[in-house]
Amino acid sequence: MKNKKFLFLSVISIMLLMLLAACGGKEDTSNTNEGSTKGDNKETTSDIKFLSMVTGGTQGTYYALGGTFAELISNETGIKTTAEVSQASAANVNALKAGDAEIAFVQTDIAYYAKNGLLMFEGEPMEDLVAIGALYPETVHLVTTAKSGIKSFEDLKGKKVSVGAPGSGTYANAEQLLEIHGLTMKDIQAQNLDFGESTDGLQTGQIDAAFITAGYPTAAVEALSAQADVVVVPVDSEKAKALIEKYPYYTEDVIPAGNYGLAEDVPTVSVLAMLAVKKDLPENVAYGIAKAIYGNTDKIGHAKGAFIKKETALNGIGIEVHPGAQKYFDE
């Protein structure tokens, strides 16, 4: 009887040991895909679970592209990314610096100023600012209406002109273009308005002209053209060349006829739009951001999507590229 009882207990013990061994051999994989990227066909994990991308005003090109970019990045990296309304380039650099955002739309000229502590960043360089890549030309529009009678920069004297917020990219562009035409902010009645406020002001006659730096066609000017005869004041080639000689991050540009109801091409100048991050962003995350944007340009519905190419993503940036993004372009 004792032998039978001993045998029974032995069998039970063996079965319990086998059960424990089986349970212990299972690997917990419940969190392996959270915050991951798939660069190099190898899934790597990151502690980052959320990315904030600062763009611009709701009627500008940054915001129009931001939603698409956020979705592409979310899908590629598995990190939830959202596009936020902002005051654009200079404010976006400050948001990166303060840790309020991880990705920023920035003009290349503003990125250069920030990196080197110039103009609106005088004495406060952001040394850890790096690029993901260049996007498309940011065309400087000097917009007015036919009823204003303004046809040249010289006609701006004494007029109410929107120049963007002090310290913004648009403000710097306005100041430099006025300078090259022999004018200063003191020669105009400068108004610090955003794009939507500018075009509303033009429509109602509260202002006479507005500087708007954005990829064409930009929503604010398109909306104005539905209500008024839009005029974009040209920058002739001689003035453009003088501007570029002094400020080499500019390039000559043209707003083609048909945009905003224009009957003819309008010569002007542009800088570049780019995406910037901080250097301490994990390499695999920066790689995933670059891959999401430049590997899916066919999914960008905005007209500026045609300019966004991995072959030209490193042209004209002027600051260091994040190693993760550089890795993607090298491949």
Domain count, the chain: 2
124 inside domain: yes
186 inside domain: yes
Mapped onto helix, strand or coil, the DSSP state of residue 228 is coil
- Do both 240 and 324 map to the same domain? no
Distance in Å from the first CA to the final CA of the chain: 75
Residue 175 CB: number of other CB atoms within 10 A?
A: 18
Strand pairing report for 80-84 and 50-54: parallel
Distance, CA of 331 to CA of 313 (rounded, Å): 13
256 inside domain: yes
pLDDT in tens, the chain (331 residues): 444 444 444 544 545 444 444 444 433 433 333 344 444 433 445 689 999 999 998 888 899 999 999 999 999 999 999 999 998 899 999 999 999 999 999 999 999 999 999 988 999 999 999 999 999 999 999 999 999 999 999 999 999 999 998 878 899 999 999 999 999 999 999 999 988 899 999 999 999 999 999 888 888 899 999 999 999 999 999 999 999 999 888 889 999 999 999 999 999 999 999 999 999 999 999 999 999 999 999 999 998 899 999 999 998 888 999 999 999 999 9
Q: Name beta bridge partners: 283.
A: none
317 inside domain: yes
Give the range of the structural domain holding residue 151, as residue numbers without chain letter.
139-271
- The per-residue DSSP string of 99-160 comes to TS-SEEEEEHHHHHHHHHT-GGGTT---TTEEEEEEEEEEEEEEEEEGGG---SGGGGTT-E
Tokens of 59: 């009627």
Q: CATH no. for residue 165?
A: 3.40.190.10
Strand pairing report for 266-278 and 129-145: antiparallel
Residue 77 CB: number of other CB atoms within 10 A?
A: 25
pTM: 0.74
Distance, CA of 261 to CA of 53 (rounded, Å): 32
pLDDT value of residue 141: 97
57 inside domain: yes
Domain boundary among 238, 256, 271: 271
Domain boundary among 271, 287, 316: 271
- Do both 201 and 250 map to the same domain? yes
Residue with tokens 């006829």: 257
- Do both 297 and 220 map to the same domain? no
pLDDT value of residue 35: 45
- Do both 129 and 144 map to the same domain? no
